[in-house]
Amino acid sequence: MIFLLRLGVCGGCAALLAQTLPKTDLPWLALPALAGLFWSWRQQPWPTAVGWGFFAGLVYFSLAFSWFGETAASLLGRFGSITVLGPALLAAPFFALAALAINRAERYAAAGCVALASALGFSLCEALRSLGPIGDPFAQVAYPQITTPFGLVAPWFGTAGVSAMVAFVAASFTDYFLFPTTTRRFVASLAISSVLLGAAWHVFPAREYAAAHFPIAIIQGNIRQELKWSKGAFDLALNRYLGLSNTLVDLPNGPAPKLIVWPETVIPTNLNDDPALAKQFAHLAQRADATLVVGTLAEHNGTPYNTLWYFAPHQEPAIYRKRRLVPFAEWLPGEAWLDHLPFTNLISHFGAGQESSVIAVGQHQTAPLICWESDFPDLLHDQLMRKADLAVVATDDAWFGDTAGPYQHAQIAQMRALENGIWIVRAAATGVSGIIAPDGSFTQRSVVNQIQVIQGLVGDRIPTVFARLGPAPITLSLALGYLLTLFTGLLWRRNVRSS
């Protein structure tokens, strides 16, 4: 009976946690979902807790990643399910690790610190999941919280801090459920959380920010993925994006933009091999008196790169090469051992850029990011350390149609803006495109699967603590805090036994 109860709670709460993500968008469900998961991982042998953690992770990530295979699965035929199951199997061990951390917190931490240790351990495991060349930062608990008071923590302690705060409140509920007599401790935990969130609101850096002043434009051409690499797609894309961009010159609607951004790889060609086309883009930039950012491909020393080309009036183009590639899509991990497997011929073999480039556009220093890169806070932080004050994200979310994918991806960009107090210009092939303010909200936002030209204003960056620190010290602090709670718990228990 207990086994069936744990099975239901563990699987049900994992499914409930997935409902916090787009498109369901019910962020407050994170509290009961995590509280139930923490309960299912406590008061049992640690190997059992690890098993329940893996099971919960498999349920959660299978639901959260269900959109991964929207287009790619069709390329694999009957093996298409691997596009969802594979990433879920890679991510589930981090839920198993979180279950172990929480189980050991109950075993070793002082009774009054179990909730804190649980929160630190869970958030640490989430942060670890996004590290390394095959790290996957999607579906973190923090991202849906941008619209709740928990999001106010982001400018101070980033995504990891938001996750830790949510987990602390949830773990406090778990503690109270397991030990109802600890009412005073439960009330104190909620009071501490409320005070911290109130303080974060009171000093929220982006509660007020200077008026935006720099005009920009975003072109969303809405060319579906199944058309993008088909015969005639190049002419379709070129004519559509040139035509839409020319309207900004010939039929202006508002202030003339100083920056025009096209999405990732919308011009499916190696631009190095077509100087006439590059000259055409440069001419458009001169006519518009604006910097034109074009997502396309480039080759360097025989290696293809996913690139953004910046065409500024009367200047040589600047090129940004994508640094963080999508594993199993843009590069093959362990290629020497795996390249003989079926379907690996479908994987691109791009080179990875090495420069944390910052490219000047007018009075702004822009931080270019391509698609997947916007999910990793360390990449943008590197550019901020090089004086970037405006982020430009070009992405091709056409792979995922109108599933939850484009909305999850856009939500992550909102978190990057909130963490760093920075404006973000986001251009997506089929959406979501738009302008994100330093408070994490869209000031302009496109509709998915529509042709749109977005015009608006961006402004100056607002300094935040997280932008100064970056994610590495936060992750290290989580690890040290977790170990410290266990160590002090061990000392406390030793003193109790000896007294």
Averaged pLDDT for residues 158-174 = 98
- What confidence score (pLDDT) does residue 338 get? 63
Contact status, residue 97 vs residue 78, Cβ threshold 8 Å? no
Residue 332 pLDDT grade (very low, low, confident, very high; cuts 50, 70, 90): confident
Give the model confidence (pLDDT) of 110-153 as tens digits: 989 999 999 999 999 999 999 988 899 999 999 999 999 999 99
Give the model confidence (pLDDT) of 425-439 as tens digits: 999 999 999 999 999
Give the model confidence (pLDDT) of 212-269 as tens digits: 999 999 999 999 887 776 778 899 999 999 999 999 998 777 789 999 999 999 999 9
- What confidence score (pLDDT) does residue 301 get? 87
Residues of the chain with CATH 3.60.110.10: 214-463
Euclidean distance between CA atoms 425 and 216, whole angstroms: 8
Averaged pLDDT for residues 277-299 = 97
Neighbours of 473 (CB within 10 A): 13
The CA dihedral of 480, 481, 482, 487, to the nearest 10 degrees, is 80
Q: Is the pLDDT of residue 499 over 70?
A: no
Best CA proximity match to 401, nearest among 143, 139, 68, 75: 68
Euclidean distance between CA atoms 408 and 87, whole angstroms: 16
Token duo for residue 491: 């000392």
CATH 3.60.110.10 applies to domain 214-463: yes
Euclidean distance between CA atoms 235 and 231, whole angstroms: 9
- What confidence score (pLDDT) does residue 196 get? 96
Euclidean distance between CA atoms 309 and 348, whole angstroms: 20
| 3-state SS class at 435 | strand
**Cis amide linkage into residue 496, ω under 30° from 0:** no
Token duo for residue 154: 């982001």
Contact status, residue 390 vs residue 425, Cβ threshold 8 Å? yes
Contact status, residue 64 vs residue 22, Cβ threshold 8 Å? no
Q: Is the pLDDT of residue 48 over 80?
A: yes
Averaged pLDDT for residues 67-75 = 79
Q: Is the pLDDT of residue 342 over 80?
A: no
Q: Is the pLDDT of residue 176 over 80?
A: yes
Rg of the chain's alpha carbons, rounded to an integer? 24
DSSP states of 26-69: -GGGHHHHHHHHHHHHSSS-HHHHHHHHHHHHHHHHHHHTTTTT
Contact status, residue 444 vs residue 434, Cβ threshold 8 Å? yes
Sheet of 259-261, strands arranged across? 318-321, 303-311, 291-300, 259-261, 214-220, 452-458
Q: Is the pLDDT of residue 340 over 70?
A: no
Euclidean distance between CA atoms 325 and 350, whole angstroms: 8
Q: Is the pLDDT of residue 207 over 90?
A: no
Q: String of b and e for 77-102 (b: at least 16 CB within 10 Å)? A: eeeeebbbbebbebbbbbbbbbbbbb
- What confidence score (pLDDT) does residue 204 get? 95
Token duo for residue 324: 């963080």
Q: Which residues contact 256 (CB under 8 A, 6 or more apart)?
A: 215, 248, 249, 288, 289, 290
Residue 267 is classified by DSSP as S
| 3-state SS class at 431 | coil
| 3-state SS class at 164 | helix
Q: String of b and e for 222-235 (b: at least 16 CB within 10 Å)? A: bbebeebeeeeeee
Lowest mean pLDDT among 104-113, 244-253, 282-291, 490-499: 490-499
The answer to pTM > 0.85 is yes
Q: Is the pLDDT of residue 98 over 80?
A: yes
Give the model confidence (pLDDT) of 371-397 as tens digits: 999 999 999 999 999 999 999 999 999
- What confidence score (pLDDT) does residue 123 get? 98
Euclidean distance between CA atoms 259 and 217, whole angstroms: 6
Euclidean distance between CA atoms 192 and 197, whole angstroms: 9
- What confidence score (pLDDT) does residue 254 get? 79
Q: What percent of the chain has pLDDT over 90?
A: 82
DSSP states of 295-355: EEEEEETTEEEEEEEEE-TTSPPEEEE-SSPPBTTTB-TTHHHHTTSTTGGGS--PPPP--
One-letter amino acid at 180 equals P
| 3-state SS class at 15 | helix
Token duo for residue 108: 């070793």
- What confidence score (pLDDT) does residue 339 get? 67
259 forms bridges with which residues in the sheet? Answer: 216, 291
The CA dihedral of 479, 484, 487, 491, to the nearest 10 degrees, is -170
